[in-house]
Amino acid sequence: MILLRRELAAGLGGPDRDAVLAALQSAIELEHSTIPPYLYALYSLTPGTNKAIAEIIESVVIEEMLHLTLAANVLNALGGSPALDRPEVIPRYPGPLPGSVESGLVVGLVPCSLELVGEVFMRIEEPEDPLRFPGGRAEDAETITIGEFYTRIKQSIVALGDGAFVPGPRNQIGPERMNHAVVVTGVASASRAIDTIVEQGEGTAASPGEVVGSDYAHYYRFAEIVHGHRLIPNPDAGPGAPPDQRYIYAGDPVTFDPAGVRAVPINPTLAGYPAGSLAFLTCRTFNYAYTNMLKVLHTTLNGAPDRLTDAIGLMMSLKQQAKDMATGTITGGVPVGPSFEYQPVNG
């Protein structure tokens, strides 16, 4: 699991509005930081192979975008302004995720593998006390999780009360634009938004399932990849069985085929490609489009919800660029990986 720096939660738990606003911006940056590593693994998979794994990773990415939006909705409802158009929002890979301790988990841009999913992705999403189902492997639990960070934010919002919220709804992305988005106008809706983020990522103490949606929480979805089977209700568990005996990794196969992973580089950087080469130029163009997408998303979350369509269009364009880079079709046959760096000018 990720260990967060203590100062990230400074002032949380009580009615400190500035602390809540700062923590929500940190949450936005943390949610965003998981998306490039997940996408890099996804784009390394050859279409037609590893289909179940690709579906799992893509489903998690979509919900990470939802979590970013929900954190922004809460921040906007409290009178803040989410920031996504500045270079410090984009972490450097490999490295710790925003807010995590330097000695903690190192996250990079790496082709898909069972080791990556089990040792990095599952640790990103790991709850404080994960349910250990039959067929699963044991892992050491540590002490501080993303879920606990959100719990402290929620406690502060409850302490602040409804009076801390601006008349609204203010700069909100609702469910008509994004599935399961929560329009935040007060303590109750803010709490519901935060609960959605935590439970989609970690599940609950009694169940691996999401409270919102019909899938399992991210941690258990990634575990399906590692264990090679879908998680299903345990047919041998009685009505009084403890939570960790109610499910089992024994459903449909989730098969990993290493031959279906493209040979994209590990932790690429723009500077690492020869200047002027096709690899350099395509990576720079991707980074420019990626930075543009973040700027449009910033505008969307700061009072222009109609621009969400533009942001999604840019995301689809990025997906195609990354796939073309991974296949080498636009780089002279050499697989190239995007570096997800801040690039405000293309040239």
What's the CA gap between 59 and 57, in Å, rounded? 5
State how many domains the chain has.
2
Same-domain pairing of 211 and 94 = yes
Same-domain pairing of 14 and 81 = yes
Q: How many CB atoms are located within 10 Å of the residue 232 CB?
A: 14
Name the pLDDT band for 139 (thresholds 50, 70, 90): very low
What's the CA gap between 167 and 98, in Å, rounded? 31
Backbone phi, psi, residue 264, to 5°: -75, 155
Name the pLDDT band for 153 (thresholds 50, 70, 90): very high
Nearest by Cα to 197 from 186, 175, 213? 213
Same-domain pairing of 282 and 320 = yes
> Which ranges in the chain belong to alpha helices (H)?
17-43, 51-77, 114-116, 122-125, 146-160, 187-202, 218-227, 278-301, 308-327
Same-domain pairing of 242 and 186 = yes
The answer to the question of residue 333 being in a domain is no
The answer on pLDDT for 129 being more than 80 is no
The answer to the question of residue 343 being in a domain is no
Q: How far is CA 330 from CA 40, 218, 280, in A?
A: 17, 33, 11
Backbone phi, psi, residue 244, to 5°: -80, 5
Same-domain pairing of 154 and 275 = no
Name the pLDDT band for 214 (thresholds 50, 70, 90): low
What's the CA gap between 202 and 124, in Å, rounded? 10
**Predicted local distance difference test score (pLDDT) of residue 159:** 96
Task: Please name the residue that has the structure tokens 């709850």.
Answer: 127
Same-domain pairing of 49 and 176 = yes
Name the pLDDT band for 136 (thresholds 50, 70, 90): very low
Q: How far is CA 321 from CA 58, 91, 96, 109, 195, in A?
A: 16, 21, 26, 16, 34
The answer on pLDDT for 89 being more than 60 is yes
Considering only residues 214 and 164, tell me which one the structure prediction assigns the higher pLDDT. Answer: 164
The answer on pLDDT for 102 being more than 70 is no
Tens-place pLDDT, residues 291-330 = 999 999 999 999 999 999 999 999 999 999 999 999 988 8
Summarize the confidence of residues 241-270 as an average pLDDT.
93
Same-domain pairing of 280 and 320 = yes
What's the CA gap between 108 and 9, in Å, rounded? 25
Considering only residues 54 and 100, tell me which one the structure prediction assigns the higher pLDDT. Answer: 54
- Rounded to the nearest angstrom, the gap between the alpha carbon of residue 255 and the centroid of all alpha carbons in its chain is 23
Same-domain pairing of 81 and 36 = yes
The answer to the question of residue 312 being in a domain is yes
Same-domain pairing of 77 and 139 = yes
What's the CA gap between 243 and 103, in Å, rounded? 32
The answer to the question of residue 347 being in a domain is no
Considering only residues 126 and 19, tell me which one the structure prediction assigns the higher pLDDT. Answer: 19
**Predicted local distance difference test score (pLDDT) of residue 268:** 97
Residue 294 CB-density burial (10 A; 0-12 exposed, 13-18 middle, 19+ buried) = buried
Mean residue pLDDT of the chain comes to: 89
Same-domain pairing of 143 and 218 = yes
Q: 102: Cβ–Cβ under 8 A, 6 or more apart, which residues? A: 96
**Predicted local distance difference test score (pLDDT) of residue 13:** 81
Considering only residues 146 and 339, tell me which one the structure prediction assigns the higher pLDDT. Answer: 339
The answer to the question of residue 338 being in a domain is no
The answer to the question of residue 336 being in a domain is no
Considering only residues 3 and 247, tell me which one the structure prediction assigns the higher pLDDT. Answer: 247
CATH at residue 43: 1.20.1260.10
The answer on pLDDT for 135 being more than 70 is no
What contacts 24+ positions apart, CB below 8 Å, involve 310-316? 314/289
Q: How far is CA 158 from CA 18, 31, 81, in A?
A: 14, 22, 20
**Predicted local distance difference test score (pLDDT) of residue 338:** 96
The answer to the question of residue 1 being in a domain is no
The answer on pLDDT for 88 being more than 50 is yes
5: alpha, beta or left? (left if phi > 0; alpha if psi -120 to 50): beta
**Predicted local distance difference test score (pLDDT) of residue 251:** 94
Nearest by Cα to 172 from 163, 154, 184, 157? 184
Find the domain containing 320 and state its range. Answer: 270-327
The answer to the question of residue 340 being in a domain is no
- The DSSP secondary-structure symbol of 92 reads P
335, 323 Cβ separation under 8 angstroms = no
Least confident of 141-155, 247-261, 332-346: 141-155
**Predicted local distance difference test score (pLDDT) of residue 143:** 39
Same-domain pairing of 226 and 274 = no
Q: 321: Cβ–Cβ under 8 A, 6 or more apart, which residues? A: 282, 285, 286, 289, 338
**Predicted local distance difference test score (pLDDT) of residue 14:** 84
Same-domain pairing of 290 and 233 = no
Q: Is the dihedral of CA 322, 272, 65, 147 positive or negative?
A: positive
Summarize the confidence of residues 143-165 as an average pLDDT.
87
The answer on pLDDT for 172 being more than 90 is yes
Nearest by Cα to 322 from 107, 40, 91? 40
**Predicted local distance difference test score (pLDDT) of residue 137:** 40
Considering only residues 51 and 209, tell me which one the structure prediction assigns the higher pLDDT. Answer: 51
